[in-house]
Amino acid sequence: MPHCELSYSSDLEIDAKAILAEVEACILRHDGDAGETKGRAYPAPVFLHTHMKATVALLAKPHRGAAFTAALQKDLVDLIAAHLPRPCWLSVDITFSSQTYHTEFLE
């Protein structure tokens, strides 16, 4: 159950929901069992320099090693960069949740 947070300067005219949907599809291409990606976008009204930071958090699993992470990061950078005007700083951070992370769907 991945999470993606987009934090960006509010001068960017982007479709954050479309980016989040593409991030989810990208993660699923790399790991078809990843499930839905919970996505959030936070435009910053006060900022210095045009930028976007995408943070993707995944559960740690044996098949999600260095090669998996490098390939996923490359694809995420490419797809997010395609949505951004130039000049713009882009940062993509892939993290892994700790063993104490808990999630469940409440009905």
| pLDDT reported for residue 55 | 98
| Residues 34, 2 contacting (CB under 8 angstroms) | yes
pLDDT digits (tens, 9 = 90+) for 69-105: 999 999 999 999 999 999 999 999 999 999 899 988 8
Q: Which residues contact 41 (CB under 8 A, 6 or more apart)?
A: 5, 6, 8, 16, 17, 19, 20
Q: How many CB atoms lie within 10 A of CB 51?
A: 18
pTM for the full predicted model: 0.94
pLDDT digits (tens, 9 = 90+) for 19-56: 999 999 999 999 999 999 999 999 999 999 999 999 99
Asked whether residue 1 carries a pLDDT value surpassing 90, the answer given is no
| pLDDT reported for residue 99 | 87
| Residues 73, 94 contacting (CB under 8 angstroms) | yes
In whole angstroms, what is the distance from residue 101 CA to residue 76 CA? Answer: 24
